[in-house]
Structure 1
Amino acid sequence: MPVIRTPESRFAGLPDYPFAPNYLDVGGTATPGLRMHYLDEGPRDGRVVLMLHGEPSWSYLYRHMIPPVVAAGCRVIAPDLIGFGKSDKLTRISDYSYQSHMDWLTALVEQLDLCDITVVGQDWGSLLGLRLAAEQEPRCAAIVIGNGMLPTGDQPVPKAFRIWKHFALYSPWFPIGRIVASGVRRKLPDGERAAYDAPFPSAQYKAGARAFPRLVPVTPDDPASPANRSAWEVLAQWHKPLVTAFSTGDPITRGGDKYLQKRIPGAQGRPHVTLRGGHFLQEDSPAEFAAAVLAAVRA
């Protein structure tokens, strides 16, 4: 599979992103040398908080949440999924699958030997994070989900998602920074919008971002559906803390917090919150989202 790497110069001078880069080879035998970028901030003996971004963002999304969580004594790991941020990118939409993303993320967790993890997921970070928590249950201590879910294809999807999926696959114009800005309630300054564009110098780099919507299971026979159903079997017995922090302004995931609270035993009696903002609540309510994360860590 052809692999490309965004030039480091694209990331020079990003606002509010002073973090040192770290890299791991997560390609295994299938794609040797495939490099994943991740942030590793805070004390090495601190409680691990794994912050997983979604579509079409990258670890830049968590830049305002990392400092307060680190200040509380935690170790924050924030990877860029393959195809995003400073991580390597495959050039064909067909090169990406739900399982390949799980394999790459699991490789990161196992190579770093992360344990006692609080998994934080939003958007695709939830699709991957909930699966990870189920499949790596001994390594995981708590879950925090904001504007995300673990679909199996057995439930209908909102019309807004079907429109988004078609746009991602077929629109000749796929402006990453503008897409992120449209999911934020506050006005995203030009420099921050440019930071979301930085990983994607040309259309060739956007295959991973275009692929994600088509990988969401929307039918019962989707290739990822059996594994997601198996994950739900684990989550249905999950008594460790699960905290939801959904926003007020996300038309696609609205109501998902109540569903998670009902289905997962560990959600009972937890300090769930509803935050002001759009789809990217890390941009609109970072302090409040970070507080929800720390509440789960303390639980």
Structure 2
Amino acid sequence: MTKSFRTPDDRFAGIPDYPFDPRYHMLDDGLRLHYLDEGPRHATPVLMLHGEPSWSYLYRKMICPVVEAGYRVLAPDLIGFGKSDKPTSKSDFTYARHVGWMEEWLEATGIANIVLVCQDWGSLIGLRLLAAHPEKFAAVVLSNGGLPAGQPAPRAFAAWRRFSRYSPVFPVGRIIQRGTVRTLADAEVAAYDAPFPTRGSKAAARIFPSLVPLGSNSAVPDQEAAWRVLETFDRPFTCCFSDKDPITRGGDAIFRKRVPGARDNPLHRTLSGSHFIQEDDPSGFVQAILDTAKRAGV
């Protein structure tokens, strides 16, 4: 069994604007995955996938407006993040294993006709889920993410990768703050720090940048296979990248060119903010979701 850390519940006491009941799924390898499930069980599911080093707290300002519009929102914490279990060795994490964990959870939920909402690593994992099960997805809303397949790393990302590997400290809350335009309250910064009280608990957050398949990487063939599926995906695919993200700016172009559901989609837009757009422009992101779901007829 994988050696892992489970963040004590008291670390999450008093977190602001996060009134959601925790739900858990035990994966086959003994790791516990946490997720939120809000709204009517029979409603169209909106799957919100976070990236790193964040967790489902990132979507706290978006969940209620989407539920109030009549949808069911599911927001899991990736293994290694949030309230999910955290393997403590960097070698426990691979791209394929993360996709496998989320695929196992997705199958267990039984949801279909999904509107996928993804950003950062949420897109690297979410778009691979779509490629494996395209019949389950009704639409996609993508912000500040991608599905890289061996291209060179942008300079800003290469610097982030070096920092994650070699920095003696890894202050998660301050990292989130550097990826936003607005100033986070001290309690919000603390909420992003809450899941990671030990060095070992940060193993996933530390290794994720090195797993992104930029340059030579064993995941490239799987990425190319996923792109072949995306090139047949003709349901609504909306890009809503932000105007101030130094890492992903311009990353929507490849989707608009290669994904049929993005090529003829009039809903693409630019949101105002930096990398963690859920903090900078949550209402704009929500509107993109609702408009895309409407276009999909769900």
Alpha-carbon offset, residue 295 of structure 1: 1.2
The Cα offsets for residues 179-224 of structure 1, whole Å up to 9 and x where unpaired, read as 000001000110000000000012111001001001000124x121
State the match for 1:119 in structure 2.
116
Q: Which runs of 4+ in 1 moved over 2 A?
A: none
> Which residue does the alignment assign to 1:92?
89
Q: What residue is the counterpart of 1:240 in the other structure?
A: 235
Counterpart in the other structure of 2:47: 50
Out of 252, 260, 272, the residue aligned to residue 255 of structure 2 is: 260
Sequence identity percentage: 55
Aligned residue for 2:65?
68
Superposition deviation, residue 114 in structure 1: 1.1
Aligned residues: 293
Q: Which residue in the other structure is 1:175 paired with?
A: 171
Q: Specify the alignment match of 2:128 in structure 1.
A: 131
Query: Could you say which residue in structure 2 is the equivalent of 1:162?
Result: 158
What is the SS of the residue equivalent to 2:241? Answer: strand
CA distance in 2, matches of 1:261, 1:252: 18
Q: Are the equivalent residues in 2 in contact too, given 1:127–1:150 (CA < 8 A)?
A: yes
Aligned equivalent of 2:21: 20
**Residue equivalent to 2:80:** 83
d(CA) in 2 for partners of 1:52, 1:2: 25
Preserved contact between residue 242 and residue 270 of structure 1 (Cα < 8 Å): no
Shift in Å, 1:88: 0.1
Given that 1:177 and 1:195 are in contact with CA atoms closer than 8 Å, whether structure 2 keeps it comes out as yes
**How much does 1:270 deviate?**
3.1
Kept after mapping to 2: 8 A contact 1:241/1:270? no
Distance 2:153 2:163 in 1: 16
Tell me how far apart the structure 2 counterparts of residues 4 and 223 of structure 1 sit (CA, whole Å).
28
Letter in 2 for 1:273: R
TM-score computed with the length of structure 2 as normaliser = 0.97
- 5+ residue gaps, structure 1, are none
- What do residues 89-147 of structure 1 show as CA deviations (whole Å, max 9, x unaligned)? 00011100001110111011100111001111100001111111111111111111000
For structure 2, list consecutive stretches of 5 or more residues without a partner in the other structure.
none
Map 1:200-215 to 2 at 5 A: 200-215=196-211
Which amino acid letter does the alignment assign opposite residue 124 of structure 1? W
**Aligned residues of 1:22 and 1:38 also touching (Cα < 8 A):** yes
What is the TM-score of this pair, normalised by structure 1?
A: 0.97
* Counterpart-to-counterpart distance in 1, 2:42 and 2:213: 37
- Residue identity in the other structure for 2:54: S
Partner amino acid, structure 1, of 2:221? P
Deviation, structure 1 residue 269? 2.5
Pair 1:59 & 2:59 matched: no
Q: Which amino acid aligns with 1:227?
A: D
Pair 1:104 & 2:98 matched: no
Equivalent residue of 1:118, what SS? strand
Give the secondary-structure state (helix, strand or coil) at the position aligned to 1:45.
coil
Matched, 1:295 2:291: yes
Q: Is the 8 A contact 1:133 1:143 kept in 2?
A: no
Structure 2 letter corresponding to 1:152: A
Partner amino acid for 2:95?
Y
What letter matches 1:127 in structure 2?
L
One-letter amino acid matched to 1:234: V
Once residues 228 and 72 of structure 1 are traced to their aligned partners in structure 2, the CA distance between those partners, rounded to angstroms, is 34
